[in-house]
């Protein structure tokens, strides 16, 4: 594959077939179960202007070779808004050729234009190839990520009312 300088642009409706291929590749890379329902749901989110999720693509060599999904998030600790990069996937034959760097740069430009304070993301601990790039374009933080499962059968109606006593 011959790559020219990548072009970063917003995801368009006509990108759907190629986006589906790349998003399936992303899910496979992270060993997520195959699910057409998830792929279709995320496509719907990305095409819905009222949904928080948005998408970018990188074109090189007249083909979409990478995708990025992002959303804005509130940062109460700083009173600012940031951009959260949820997913970034580059086809294997385009890796190491500036495509992911171009997508991250595109997000930095969006953040700068919109007055946002940061572009932030996480990656798998064993994703060393991506980390080699990320260490060049961003600052590795000291934060550790946790996931907690929801508790079934609660509706959260009593949370946040300010009437609880410890």
The DSSP string of 30-76 is: TTPPP-HHHHHHHHHHHH-TTSS-EEEEEEETTEEEEEEEEEEEEET
What distance lies between CA 140 and its chain's CA centroid? 17
Whether 155 is in a domain gets the answer no
Supply the range of the domain harboring residue 40.
9-137
166 residues of the chain, pLDDT tens digit each: 556 789 999 999 999 999 999 999 999 999 999 999 999 999 999 999 999 999 999 999 889 999 999 999 999 999 999 999 999 999 999 999 999 999 999 999 999 999 999 999 999 999 999 999 999 999 999 999 999 999 997 665 555 545 444 4
pLDDT at 159: 55
Whether 142 is in a domain gets the answer no
Number of domains in the chain: 1
Whether 165 is in a domain gets the answer no
| β-pairing verdict for 119-120 and 80-90 | parallel
Q: CATH number for the domain including 26?
A: 3.40.630.30
Whether 51 is in a domain gets the answer yes
Whether 150 is in a domain gets the answer no
Whether 79 is in a domain gets the answer yes
| β-pairing verdict for 7-10 and 119-120 | unpaired
Whether 21 is in a domain gets the answer yes
What confidence tens digit (pLDDT) does each residue in 90-115 have? Answer: 999 999 999 999 999 999 999 999 99
pLDDT at 165: 45
């Amino acid at each position: 594959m011959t790559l020219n300088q990548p072009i970063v642009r917003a995801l368009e409706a006509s990108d759907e077939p190629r986006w589906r291929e790349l998003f399936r590749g992303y899910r496979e890379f992270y060993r997520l179960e195959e699910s057409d329902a998830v792929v279709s749901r995320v496509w719907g989110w990305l095409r819905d202007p009222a949904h928080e999720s948005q998408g970018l693509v990188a074109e090189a060599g007249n083909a979409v070779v990478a995708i990025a999904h992002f959303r804005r998030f509130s940062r109460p600790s700083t009173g600012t808004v940031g951009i959260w990069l949820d997913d970034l996937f580059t086809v294997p034959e385009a890796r190491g050729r500036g495509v992911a760097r171009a997508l991250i740069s595109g997000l930095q430009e969006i953040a700068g234009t919109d007055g946002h304070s940061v572009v932030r993301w996480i990656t798998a601990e064993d994703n060393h190839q991506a980390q080699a790039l990320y260490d060049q374009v961003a600052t590795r933080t000291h934060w550790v990520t946790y996931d907690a499962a929801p508790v079934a059968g609660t509706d959260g109606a009593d949370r946040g009312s300010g009437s609880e006593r410890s």
